[in-house]
């Protein structure tokens, strides 16, 4: 098997990076939730993973004909890439969830721009490898048309309307003809007031308390190019993929409080990345007030967007 190099940058030398701002030779990493020991930074990915797994009831979308992929590749291998893997929780969990295929070697490669959160190799299942890859950089030849499935999720603080086409171009290049791209994204701005609305509609049944509205509007101002999330299927179509799944759903009642805890933990961590001391203090205040509103029973109804596309061929 042509393995991915552990903890090594898989980038082609000398090629211009598309869709990413840079200062000199140093690329800017837009990820703003901590990768260190700040509580949310290291643990939020695991919490999000199990909440999403519970909400969905699956790790790999059932419309992906995985059993057929395994059958078609008996005597060979089926390769899955998890782009933006973070700490590797998705490939680790998927490896333990898949049945044993005695005639097909299933391998899962977790790829991320940073190795800072990777689990130690000694704790990884035999099927899992974690490596460094910047999906906004040109795809190395070794990874072109390599994978049967490419999985992406939680890019809302990194992806923009401008660079999503670049991400899809590179992810598609990693797919074998007939391979599947599966993207899951939580739309934290769905069912929330837009900055152009000075106040929530008092007659609406969905009326966010002031701190939630303030947090959302602050995040919209900082990350304005986010129309790609609810329109993700359109971006896949423009990238030349055949869309076979395009849908969204809100959290079930039993998970709403857990999602509140997850979001507020992430926002509390995000506050530490705000440079201006006054803004940072105000954002922290909003997070504290939003938590109190959650304890009073208010919960956002953020949508989870799921899109599956297939590469023609």
Q: What is the pLDDT of residues 72-96, one digit of tens each?
A: 999 999 999 999 999 999 999 999 9
pLDDT at 18: 39
3-class secondary-structure state, position 181: strand
Residues in the chain with pLDDT values less than 70: 1-42, 191-207
Strand 26-27 relative to strand 22-23: parallel, antiparallel, unpaired?
A: antiparallel
pLDDT at 226: 82
Q: Could you tell me which of 164, 86, 111 has the C-alpha nearest to residue 3?
A: 111
pLDDT at 157: 81
pLDDT at 14: 33
Euclidean distance between CA atoms 5 and 55, whole angstroms: 33
pLDDT at 41: 56
pLDDT at 26: 35
Count each helix (H run) and each strand (E run) in the chain, helices first: 8, 9
Tens of pLDDT, residue by residue over 158-186, are: 899 999 999 999 999 999 999 999 999 98
Count of CB atoms situated within 10 Å of the CB of 145 = 15
Answer for the pair 142, 9: CB distance below 8 angstroms, yes or no.
no
pLDDT at 42: 61
pLDDT at 1: 38
pLDDT at 59: 97
pLDDT at 99: 93
């Amino acid at each position: 098997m042509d393995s991915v190099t552990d903890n090594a940058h898989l980038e082609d030398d000398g090629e211009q990076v598309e869709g990413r701002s840079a200062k000199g030779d140093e690329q800017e990493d837009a990820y703003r939730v901590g990768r260190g020991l700040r509580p949310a930074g290291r643990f939020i990915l695991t919490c999000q993973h199990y909440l999403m797994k519970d909400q969905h009831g699956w790790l790999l979308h059932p419309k992906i004909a995985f059993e057929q992929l395994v059958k078609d590749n008996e005597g060979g291998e089926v390769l899955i890439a998890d782009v933006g893997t973070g700490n590797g929780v998705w490939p680790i969990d998927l490896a333990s969830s898949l049945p044993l295929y005695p005639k097909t070697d299933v391998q899962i490669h977790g790829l991320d721009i940073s190795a800072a959160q990777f689990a130690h190799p000694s704790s990884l299942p035999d099927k899992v490898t974690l490596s460094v890859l910047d999906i906004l950089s040109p795809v190395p030849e070794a990874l072109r048309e390599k994978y049967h499935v490419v999985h992406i999720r939680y890019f809302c603080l990194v992806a923009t309307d401008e660079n999503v086409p670049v991400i899809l171009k590179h992810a598609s290049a990693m797919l074998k003809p007939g391979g599947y791209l599966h993207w899951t994204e939580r739309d934290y701005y769905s069912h929330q007031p837009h900055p152009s609305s000075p106040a929530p509609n008092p007659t609406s049944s969905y009326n966010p308390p002031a701190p939630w509205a303030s947090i959302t509007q602050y995040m919209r101002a900082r990350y304005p190019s986010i129309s790609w999330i609810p329109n993700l299927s359109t971006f896949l179509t423009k990238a030349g993929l055949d869309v076979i799944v395009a849908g969204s759903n809100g959290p079930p009642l039993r998970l709403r409080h857990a999602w509140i805890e997850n979001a507020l933990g992430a926002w509390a961590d995000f506050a530490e990345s705000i440079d201006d001391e006054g803004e940072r203090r105000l954002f922290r205040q909003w997070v504290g007030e939003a938590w109190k509103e959650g304890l009073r029973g208010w919960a956002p109804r953020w949508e989870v967007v799921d899109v599956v596309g297939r590469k023609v061929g």
